[in-house]
Amino acid sequence: MDIAWGITGAGHLLKETFSAMEDVSKENRITAFLSLGGEEVIKAYGLWDKLNAICPRDYMQEILTSKAEGKSSPTTGRFFLKRYDALVASPVTTNTVAKIVHGISDTLVTNAVSHAVKSMTQVYICPVDRFVGENETILPHYVDRDICENCSTCPPEEICDQKAFKDRRIDLLKCTACGDCVSECEYGAVIEGRKATIKVREIDAKNARLLEEIEFITVIDHPGVIKELF
């Protein structure tokens, strides 16, 4: 099967999504559709190389980005040609869910969903905030300024090939989450893998419920169920 896979700018459920993508790609071809935020978080969480292994840039196994596709998102026209058997969107931010529910398609992923539905292609969406309550998520690398000693020469900054360190901060748009910086700070100020609890708002849970009312869209609870769909 040929599967389109949309990824938005959510860190929550991102690693679980990649695990599902790896499983599905063993017997199916995947084309990745990345929003601007999606491209950024994939790199910030150190998953870019893994994405390239899943989508090796062959036909119908490309990595399509919002930067390259522009405002018109021409490759989403493949849905009208019935090139894809299904579209998976995971993880999906509350912003993207709200746009889909209200018929706004101004990003690569929302355009893909819109065109898939119009072409009667089955869409599976995994929202990061589906139910009111609390979610636990893992943060990308950051510098804890309460621990940082503001050294005149910063070893993590010195060894960072991406030049992601500046003024005791990590520029996540440059960071590739290689992790080399963590061990370089003798004070332990560079933190990776810290968990955070986030509250799911009622408006976000409501929009997730409204998704279920849209024809050809199936809402799923967790990326772990995706491999069972194919």
Q: Which residue has the tokens 């999606």?
A: 38
**CA atoms of 42 and 13, how far apart (whole Å):** 12
pLDDT at residue number 139: 82
Q: Is residue 135's pLDDT more than 80?
A: no
Delimit the CATH 3.30.70.20 region(s) of the chain.
Answer: 140-192
Per-residue pLDDT, averaged over 31-38, amounts to 97
pLDDT at residue number 191: 87
Q: State which amino acid sits at residue 32.
A: A
CATH architecture of residue range(s) 140-192: 2-Layer Sandwich (3.30)
pLDDT at residue number 49: 94
pLDDT bucket at 71, cuts 50 / 70 / 90 = confident
Per-residue pLDDT, averaged over 44-60, amounts to 95
SS (H, E, C) the chain: CEEEEEECCCCCCHHHHHHHHHHHHCCCEEEEEECHHHHHHHHHCCCHHHHHHHCCCCCCCCEEEHHHHCCCCHHHHHHCCCCCCEEEEEEECHHHHHHHHCCCCCCHHHHHHHHHHHCCCEEEEEECCCCCEEEEEECCCEECCCCCCCCCCCHHHHHCCCCCEECCEECCCCCCCCCHHHHHCCCCCEECCCEEEEEECHHHHHHHHHHCCCCCEEECCCHHHHHHHC
What's CA 69's distance to the chain center, in Å? 17
In the predicted model, what is the mean pLDDT of the chain? 93
Q: Is residue 29's pLDDT more than 80?
A: yes
**What are the φ/ψ torsions at residue 152 (nearest 5 degrees)?**
-60, -35
pLDDT at residue number 196: 80
**69-73, 114-118, 142-146, 196-200: least confidently modelled range:** 196-200
- Check if the beta carbon of residue 191 is closer than 8 Å to that of residue 144: yes
Delimit the CATH 3.40.50.1950 region(s) of the chain.
Answer: 2-132+200-229
Give the closest residue to 207 by CA, choosing from 217, 194, 197, 198. 217
**CA atoms of 105 and 112, how far apart (whole Å):** 8
Q: Is residue 24's pLDDT more than 80?
A: yes
Q: How do beta strands 142-143 and 165-166 pair?
A: unpaired
pLDDT at residue number 174: 85
**47-61, 115-129, 161-175: least confidently modelled range:** 161-175
pLDDT at residue number 145: 87
CATH architecture of residue range(s) 2-132+200-229: 3-Layer(aba) Sandwich (3.40)
